[in-house]
């Protein structure tokens, strides 16, 4: 699996992401500076977490208009897999690749802790290594992770099975008390219509081995490898 | 010419910062505040003197970058 990580000023999770991609695929990802206009030939483009442009104006807003994003959008529209985590998810909504917006957390607090997610669908190229309904534990670290979209968009996401992860209790129940940031329907991650662009607020790259407290995030990377490199 | 862009959250979109301000005002004894909405103000210094062109240009800026029309409204005032 050949992958590229797009780097904007203020991004700080690219190394964690590179480590997870290398671990799952055996191939070192290419880091691409945001002022580049063309991505290398890759199977996967990742926009990692951090605080692009200091979150000025709105989280992800300025990064979404960076030169490299033109090619990211073109590749996504041509079918290349794109993963956005945390600030990367905000960039994907701001660039129009995913619907909705990420607003300030409902209780105004910056969150940095582990959460549980229910895997709502295993029928994606990002979640094939999980089972539907499985509960995983991964960290969140964000101040603006409150997912919002209008009622029609939410109905469409639900109807098309495009909500991939929801915040849940340790027992896997999607309840209001398991919602850390006020997201509609406890939504933690969504996928586009075509199934090649995933955005999520939690950080699977920071839960890939027991020393990190959980290795539940590794499945996401293994899923992508399996989707891109089917066993002969 | 100066353009003043006011960006506010759409009605129906929860504004947690506005709510926090409202609570703080209440605790200071300002009891009559029924709702608070927080927004942002962006001032642009424009080279043009053509008001019609300026209005259109700034609205295009709002649509393209300054506002996220999924959750925000904007208004443009030329001064």
Closest residue of A to B40, CA-based?
A57
In this structure, the dihedral spanned by the alpha carbons of residues A57, A58, A59 and A62, taken in order and rounded to 10 degrees, is: -50
Domains defined along chain A, listed by start: 3-228 (3.40.50.880)
From the list A143, A140, A186, A181, the residue with the least C-alpha distance to A164 is: A186
Task: Show pLDDT as tens, one digit a residue, over chain A (232 residues).
Answer: 999 999 999 999 999 999 999 999 999 999 999 999 999 999 999 999 999 999 999 999 999 999 999 999 999 999 999 999 999 999 999 999 999 999 999 988 999 999 999 999 999 999 999 999 999 999 999 999 999 999 999 999 999 999 999 999 999 999 999 999 999 999 999 999 999 999 999 999 999 999 999 999 999 999 999 999 876 5
Closest residue of B to A66, CA-based?
B65
Domain tally, chain B: 1
Closest residue of B to A109, CA-based?
B16
| A86 is known as an active-site residue | yes
Q: How many Å lie between the alpha carbon of A108 and the closest alpha carbon of chain B?
A: 7
From A14, A94, A120, A205, the catalytic residue: A205
Q: The pTM is what?
A: 0.94
CATH number at residue B11: 3.30.1280.10
* Residue A193: both structure tokens together: 């219509």
Q: Which residue has 């089972």 as its token pair?
A: A131
Tell me the ipTM for this assembly. 0.85
CB pairs under 8 A between A and B: 38
In this structure, the dihedral spanned by the alpha carbons of residues A63, A68, A74 and A80, taken in order and rounded to 10 degrees, is: -90
From A86, A94, A116, A142, the catalytic residue: A86
- Owning domain of residue B12: 2-78
Q: Is A209 left (phi over 0), alpha (psi -120 to 50) or beta?
A: beta
Quick check: A104 and B16 CB within 8 A? yes
Q: Does A148 touch chain B (CB under 8 A)?
A: yes
């Amino acid at each position: 699996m050949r992958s590229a990580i797009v780097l904007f000023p203020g991004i700080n999770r690219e190394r964690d992401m590179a480590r997870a991609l290398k671990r799952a695929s055996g191939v070192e990802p290419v880091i691409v500076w945001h002022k580049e206009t063309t991505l290398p030939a890759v199977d996967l483009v990742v926009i990692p977490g951090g605080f692009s442009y200091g979150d000025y104006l709105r989280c992800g807003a300025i990064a979404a208009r960076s030169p490299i994003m033109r090619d990211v959008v073109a590749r996504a529209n041509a079918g290349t897999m794109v993963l956005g985590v945390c600030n990367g998810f905000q960039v994907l909504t701001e660039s129009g690749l995913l619907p909705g917006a990420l607003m300030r957390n409902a209780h105004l607090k910056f969150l940095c802790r582990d959460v549980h997610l229910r895997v709502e669908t295993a029928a994606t190229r990002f979640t094939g290594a999980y089972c539907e309904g499985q509960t995983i534990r991964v960290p969140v670290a964000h101040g603006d992770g409150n997912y919002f979209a209008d009622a029609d968009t939410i109905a469409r996401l639900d109807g098309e099975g495009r909500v991939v992860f929801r915040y849940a209790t340790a027992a896997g129940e999607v309840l209001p008390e398991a919602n850390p940031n006020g997201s509609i329907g406890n939504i933690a991650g969504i996928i586009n219509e075509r199934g090649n662009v995933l955005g999520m607020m939690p950080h699977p790259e920071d839960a890939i081995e027991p020393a990190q407290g959980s290795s539940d995030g590794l499945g996401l990377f293994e899923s992508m490898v399996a989707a891109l490199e089917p066993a002969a | 010419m100066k353009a003043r862009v006011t960006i506010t959250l759409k009605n129906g979109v929860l504004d947690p910062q506005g709510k926090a301000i409202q609570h703080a005002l209440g605790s200071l004894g300002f009891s009559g505040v029924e709702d608070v909405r927080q927004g942002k103000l962006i001032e642009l210094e424009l080279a043009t003197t053509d008001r019609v062109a300026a209005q259109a240009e700034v609205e295009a800026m709002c649509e393209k970058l300054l506002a996220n029309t999924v959750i925000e409204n904007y208004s443009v005032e030329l001064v």
